[in-house]
Chains A and B, each alone.
Chain A
Amino acid sequence: MHRWWDKYGWQTTLTILALFVAWLLKQTQATAIAETYYFLVSPFQSQRQLQLENKLTNARILQLEQRLNELEQQNKQFQELLGYAAQQELSITAPIIGRSAGIWWNQITLGKGRNDGVEKGFIVSGIGGVIGRIIQVTPHTSRVLLISDPNSRVGAVVTRTRHPGFIQGQNSQAVVMRFFTQVADVRVGDTITTSSLSYLYPAGLPIGKVKSVNVDKGPAPEAEIELNVPLALLEWVVIKPFTPKVEVK
């Protein structure tokens, strides 16, 4: 026994240690790695953050923001008139600090986490529309499953005709929308939003525009949707609180 230990003890201990650490990382969904990564990149991030914030407050956005303010004010007055109790919504602005690992996933890592109030299931959007939802949170980072991921399915609706369907990611800027009904009145250029049937997303968020329609596809027609938000160029996102209607794994 003693001789065996002399010969293989060191190796065995290391093997067990390596497997244990790997298992631990798996169980914690690599929280340690994500956190270390955050602290390593955050000094570089802060510089970019300032530049980006400058970029974000350009004239066009200011104009749109003012219009939005105006509309929100009006909306508020109408809601008051109707006796509608609006809940105060907070939104968290977060930088993208990491892209997806490997070719099979379309995920991004954000530089805001539990400490900033981010929780699993929250909705992430860029300028132009929804881009995904939070699937994992660590104290300083959070991971987003993009709607362009093939594993992501979002209930969607054609705004003009209210035809329901769901969109599935294709690992690119374009996603596929599959309809539930046989004959769907869809045209190129129609806008697509999340539907009220969606469990994981709130209804009415803009997603994209119809690029092409494939009527021959069985059992139901398919449409190619061009996402509003340029996912590859995105550097900054907004997180909105949302409680999914189903338990998220």
Chain B
Amino acid sequence: MRTLLLGASLLAASAMGATPAMATDFDVRITNLTHGIYYTPFLVAAHPEGNNLFVTGEPASANLRAMAEGGDIAGLLADVNALGATVNANPAGGLLAPGESTSLTMNTDGTSNDRLSIVAMLLPTNDAFAGLNAIAIPTEPGTYVYNVNAYDAGTEANDELVTGGGAPGAPGIPAAPGGDTGTGGTGAATADTNGDVHIHRGALGDTDLNGGTSDLDSRIHRWLNPVVRVTLTVR
């Protein structure tokens, strides 16, 4: 009896869902899962199918590079605005600390924005970013969870030196918001062997805060995927 009723209500739900073309109203919750990594301002964009902020195995765009190396989302924001995207830039109003979450609401009514992309840079890194890549926004009301991995933009050597270099092409890490990095490192990696966007191999770090190869602390600044969790609640 219970099964029959459940089946009937599922049918009713899908029949109702078939009339509107797509979900129009949903909440997005972004959680920093990491132990010691901060995120620069997130760019959250619902956009038409067939567009991507990045593609693994291909070089980063100049605007993705600016985000990945320095946390600057202005260029990517212009890109998605040109697509007529539904956008929320910087929902956390600044950095998102380890364990913190930020939430926002989106409404794509009257648009063809049925894909969702979310990006932000990991600090302190050279050019690591978390990326949710053009997932299909579910149309059935409910809660959907996405685990987001860390990518290497492939545009800057992972020297792991906190130099303040955040402009595209400037070497080094722009900032360490946790104030828990070292100084005097000689440089972890000298060049990117893979110049395309790829899953990040992780930070190396060391335990010498006054030298060693890296300014990062291996006990704090490493991570394992996933690094961000995105929860969509479709109404």
Same assembly: no
Interface residues of A (CB under 8 A from B): none
Interface residues of B (CB under 8 A from A): none
